Amino acid sequence: MNNHLALSDDILMKIEKPARYIGNEVNAVYKDTSKVDVRFCMCFPDVYEIGMSHLGIQIIYDMLNRWDDVWCERVYSPWLDLDAIMREEKIPLFALESQEPVKNFDFLGITVQYEMCYTNILQVLDLSGIPLLAKDRTEEDPIVIGGGPCTYNPEPIADFFDIFYIGEGETQYRKLLDIYKEYKAAGKSRQDFLFAAAQIPGMYVPALYEVSYHEDGTISSFEPVSEELPRTILKEIEMNVSDTYYPMKPVVPYIKVTQDRVVLEIQRGCIRGCRFCQAGQLYRPVRERDVEVMKQYALEMLKNTGHEEISLSSLSSSDYTQLPELIDFLIEECGPRHINISLPSLRIDAFSLDVMSKVQDIRKSSLTFAPEAGSQRLRNVINKGLTEEVILNGAALAFEGGWTRVKLYFMLGLPTETEEDIRGIAELSNKIAATFFETVPKDKRVNGKVQIVTSTSFFVPKPFTPFQWAPQCTKEEFLDKAYQTKKAITEQLNQKSIKYNWHEADASVMEGVLARGDRRLGEVIRRVYEKGCFYDAWSEYFKNDVWIDTIEECGLTADFYTTRERSLEEIFPWDFIDAGITKDFLKREWLKAQKETISENCKLKCQGCGANRFGGGICFEERTDA
């Protein structure tokens, strides 16, 4: 326990939720600084409640702290109230455990989970007193290392990082830290260390790579500065997922955070191959964790945290082959202890409805379907293997079981989308409502009605997906599509049972710019930050005008990154990263999409994506006819 706090009592008594900044949580790790060689500060660049809900950081935190020579601490973005005070009073950003300035650490690790947090990265660097640009840093500054899904296209934020760790954290940190210790002991320079680090698998040191552009702004070449450096960076991946690091004692926050529960990651990757989904491509191949290991983890983590809820984490829980066994076990163990079970990402069918009726209060819970597109044609384009028949059967079963609330998720602006596809969203919503009235006799209807909540988000093409070549819609197109959806819903017979929500379009456009951006955007992000923008992921603080103006100031256009048609030959800013799947595979999928042809999932048929090079996972399991 550490009662020496970085913030004064006056500040703590003045700000919202001081518990965000005092550390001392259950299972937080404290070490004697005289006995460690490497001080590592792990950051999630958003507010504490969001950052503390992230499993990845807990895994790395646990792993690094298992090593006696390393102390890993945590830091999050100070909320706006404290941010203003820290700037005013020149208080350096500090790590939660030791409460010591981040600037004094050997490493600052930043997980980059979504594009709209880029300015918060700069907030964290700035408040820490670390130069924003990697090239301005000296021997006194920590090595700033980034990881997470957005670092599969690290180029827009390349200026701010010394190293990017591409892929899963379990595999190369030990090696990286050993080399760091060796260089530190030998008194070698930061530059020397970074050059050595760049030769560790998975490590990308942006300063050691040079980009040149064609006149039209596309990339003409991307080269390492030395022949000793790899031309492509292959993602790191943990193949032995049942026997690796996992946080048996995750940190338990005092305040309520978004994910206030034990999280059991049952598998990595997804067999489905939805063409819009970046995670489904990045984390291939599918690797399941052994169910016996999961059972043991569940009990141990519940015991060590005291959480009252456990949640399964994966991209598609229904595809976990041992799911029935695991759920039976959890129900048996958790029921008597009054521990809730949360089962996200379940496909709605007889099995999942049966399970859900055992673990939830049907009257209070709602069913979730993610058809993503309104017509079968468009669902074939995006390779979402969910048919109208399956949805309506699932809904009918659920209505018979007593559910009356349904949530539907769709995307607007998908490649090849027509007005008919958009009308399909309204029609599908209507059919589900109609199914309720057909299935449930009048006298058995709770409150006499069904509630359908239809939500749409705007599609943003992401790197390493078959849609990385697709033009993104303009803001006007997005809003028009939302209007069409709304109008179509009001024309439905059961429109009174349907509530429609849509997202704002501005942030989706900017997300699109950053997602497929290049290094030239670094200047935009820095200038936007210097003009006072951060917490862009929070719609109330997102200042679209500032972003638009700044992009122009820097001689760039948003359209170049979003609405522009990309040729199949174009070199993308992220092409030097090898995510394990080949560009040829993505191209094939992009062409198949345009022909409205589906690709079977990994369990049915190998599509030759390239992930079998890792020598394990689903690629080497027997195929089934499931």
Partner 1 sequence: MKLRIKFSKHGAIRYIGHLDVMRFFQKAIRRAEIDVTYSQGFSPHQIMSFAQPLSVGHESNGEYMDIQVNSMVSCEDVKKRINAASVEGIQVLSVIELPDNAVNAMASVAAAEYTVTFKDVRGPALNIYQVLPEFLSREQIIYTKESKKGTREVDLKPGIYQLSCEGDNSAIHMLLDASSGSNIKPVQVMEAILASHGEQLQENALMVTREDTYTNIGTQEQPHFVPLDAPQLTKE
Chain residues that interact with partner 1, rule: CB under 8 A:
1-3, 5, 9-10, 12-14, 18-19, 22-26, 252, 254-256, 302-308, 337-338, 361, 364
Closest separation in Å from C-beta 65 to partner 1: 17
Report the nearest approach of partner 1 to the CB of residue 306 (Å). 3
Query: Residue 339 CB, nearest distance to partner 1 (Å)?
Result: 8
By beta-carbon proximity to partner 1, the closer residue of 99 and 492 is 99
In 3D space, the residue among 135, 131, 127, 132 whose CA is nearest the CA of residue 101 turns out to be 127
CB of 56 to partner 1, least distance (A): 23
Q: Which one, 85 or 392, has the nearer CB to partner 1?
A: 85
How many Å separate Cα 388 from the centre of its chain? 28
**CB closer to partner 1 out of 10 and 389:** 10
The answer to whether the CB of 95 falls within 8 A of the CB of 108 is: no
Q: Rounded to the nearest whole angstrom, what is the least distance from the CB of residue 26 to partner 1 in the complex? A: 6
Containing 268, the helix (H) or strand (E) segment is strand 267-268
* Residue number, 21 or 502, with CB nearest to partner 1: 21
Which of residues 267 and 305 has its CB atom nearest to partner 1 in the complex? 305
Of 188 and 303, the one with the shorter C-beta distance to partner 1 is 303
Q: Taking the complex as a whole, how short is the minimal distance between the CB of residue 302 and partner 1, in angstroms?
A: 8
How far is 333 from 330, CA to CA, in rounded Å? 5
Closest listed residue to residue 372, CA positions, set 413, 336, 331, 332 = 413
Q: Is 241 helix (H, G, I), strand (E, B) or coil?
A: coil
The whole-angstrom separation of Cα 321 and Cα 399 is 27
Among residues 15 and 373, whose Cβ is nearest to partner 1? 15
- In eight-state DSSP terms, residue 236 is B
Q: What is the DSSP letter of 26?
A: B
- The minimum distance between CB 2 and partner 1, in angstroms, equals 7
DSSP-derived secondary structure for 54-118: -HHHHHHHHHHHHSTTEEEEEEEPPPHHHHHHHHHHTPPPB-TTT--BGGGSSEEEEE---GGGH
| Exposure string over 513-551, b if 16+ CB within 10 A, otherwise e | bbbbbbbbbbbbbbbbbeeebbbbbeeeebbbebbbebb
CA terminus-to-terminus distance, the chain: 52
Q: Which is nearer to partner 1, 12 or 293 (CB)?
A: 12
As measured in angstroms, the least distance from the Cβ of 397 to partner 1 is: 22
Q: Which is nearer to partner 1, 199 or 304 (CB)?
A: 304
How far apart CA 543 and CA 239 sit, in angstroms, is 42
Instruction: Give the span between the Cα atoms of 115 and 187, in whole angstroms.
Output: 37
The least CB distance from residue 94 to partner 1, in Å, is: 13
Which CB, 21 or 283, lies closer to partner 1? Answer: 21
- Enter the tokens of residue 470: 């697709």
Burial letters 250-280, b for 16+ CB under 10 A, else e: bbbbeeebebbbbbbbbbbbbbbbbbbbbbb
* In the complex, least distance from residue 61 CB atom to partner 1, rounded to whole angstroms: 18
DSSP 191-208: HHHHHHHTTSTTEE-GGG
